[in-house]
Amino acid sequence: MNDLVAANAQAIGQFLEDHKCKDVSILDVSAECSWADCFIIATVSSVGHLKGVAHEIWSELNNLGLEVANRHKNPAGDGWELIDCSDIVIHLMSSELREFYSLEKLWQKREI
């Protein structure tokens, strides 16, 4: 992962923590994944929290100069929102879905 991607990932991680997301993890998946360099995984407390964070993050992504491949006006109410910024993929998940899918374990928790 290059320095710009790492710096953007850290900025997004801080944004998520500032917006009350829990257990924010930044995983370096560049060695195992051909379509992304890192995943950012964060736990949201409710569907309302998920929708609020997903709505607010657009301005942060724009400020960082990141393009989003899957911009949704209304995030799904299923407890998981994936935001694809090409090199960075953001997963906003409920605690139940995060525990069930265990992305950190799947990707061997290569935190940066």
| Other CB atoms within 10 A of residue 94 CB | 18
**What distance separates the 2 farthest-apart alpha carbons in the chain?**
35
Residue 105 burial (C-beta neighbours within 10 Å; 0-12, 13-18, 19+): exposed
Q: How far is CA 82 from CA 3, 76, 88, 103, in A?
A: 23, 10, 11, 12
| Other CB atoms within 10 A of residue 25 CB | 20
Q: Is the pTM of this model over 0.85?
A: yes
- Which DSSP helix (H) or strand (E) runs through 4? helix 3-18
- The 10s digit of each residue's pLDDT in 4-37 is 999 999 999 999 999 999 999 999 999 888 999 9
Q: Is the pLDDT of residue 94 over 60?
A: yes
| Band of pLDDT at residue 44, cut at 50, 70 and 90 | very high
CATH of domain 3-107: 3.30.460.10
The arithmetic mean of pLDDT across residues 83-99, rounded, is 95
